[in-house]
Amino acid sequence: MAAQPLFETYAENTSGAPCWDLCIGESHPPYHEADRSRKTVSFGLLSEFWLSQFYLWGCLRMPSGVTTLEIPRAKTLQAFRNAYAVWVTALETTSNECPRAAEGPRKETWTVSGQESAWRKWVDAGSLNELENAIVKSEWLLTLEDDWDDEGAQKYSRETLDRALLFLKNHMQWAREKNGAALAVPRILPGPNGSIDLHWKSPAYEVLLNIPPAPALASFYGDDYGNIRIQGTLDPSAFNLGVLSWLIRR
């Protein structure tokens, strides 16, 4: 089957795991009885996104029933996209059944192994792509060696970069769960003395947040180009509602 994804959306199941839906084939959700006669494949990508790893399961609706398979993890969403074609080929030649089978039309609920799950609200998939891209791009900071500015600047550690990225990922998740909102993705930049700068700039506000090597606290400053300012220090591993309220995309 020459498979092409028809559409891609993002949702969650009740376990709280972010899911990508990649629908391939000749029809798309919501499914109808007619779909059973077609090789329609729906992938639910249960993402351990916050660990930057993905794995996926698939729901294959064939005339003979419903089958799911687990596929080895892909490190990035792009790798998953690259791998799906191979997976579809494998599905066509495999007729495994496993306990994690989804049944029924995938509108409001789906049932896996007798456990009912419900889709949550849809979230703009684009914001997660943007964050993923920024995280991948930030790896260049680790290629900077000591004296990377020809003036004695200090290089960056994986631990400090991960500290900054974890702050971003956590607050993106919290923004989504508590506010149903997308977090604006900042520039991830080289800071002084081995620290990482996160810089947000929008027509509504600008914020600079500096994350030094552990265990020092992060510091931040921002304003709305007018009289409203925000500044202080925070523990980057902890949730900060004050900062979060500024960083929600607007």
Partner 1 sequence: MRVHRNNAPDGELAPGAFRDIGRGMSTDWQKYSTAEETRARAGVPQKNGVTCMVAGGVRSCGLLVEHDPIPVNRAHTEIVGIKSTEVRFKLLRLARWVMPLELNQSI
| Site residues for partner 1 per CB under 8 A | 140, 144, 148-153, 187, 189-193, 197, 199, 206, 208-210, 219-222, 231
* Smallest gap from residue 1 Cβ to partner 1 (A): 41
**In terms of Cα–Cα distance, which of 224, 242, 246, 223 is closest to 233?**
242
Q: Output 71 or 208, the one with its CB closest to partner 1.
A: 208
Tokens of 227: 């009289």
Which is it for the CA torsion 27, 28, 30, 31, positive or negative? positive
Q: Output 162 or 223, the one with its CB closest to partner 1.
A: 223
* Smallest gap from residue 153 Cβ to partner 1 (A): 8
Q: What are phi and psi of 131, to 5 degrees?
A: -65, -45
* Parallel/antiparallel/unpaired status of strands 102-103 and 5-12: unpaired
For 128-158, b where at least 16 C-beta lie within 10 A, e where not — what string? bebbbebbeebeebeeeeeeeeeeebbebee
* Smallest gap from residue 241 Cβ to partner 1 (A): 19
Tokens of 152: 């004695």
* Smallest gap from residue 81 Cβ to partner 1 (A): 25
Q: Output 197 or 224, the one with its CB closest to partner 1.
A: 197
Beta bridge partners of residue 116, listed in sequence order: 111
Helix and strand tally (H, E) in the chain?
A: 4, 14
Beta bridge partners of residue 18, listed in sequence order: 12
Residue 220: count of CB within 10 angstroms of its CB: 23
* Smallest gap from residue 233 Cβ to partner 1 (A): 9
Q: Output 17 or 189, the one with its CB closest to partner 1.
A: 189
Q: Output 62 or 144, the one with its CB closest to partner 1.
A: 144
CA distance 108 to 14: 12
* Smallest gap from residue 248 Cβ to partner 1 (A): 20
Distance from chain centroid for Cα 153: 32
Q: Output 210 or 240, the one with its CB closest to partner 1.
A: 210
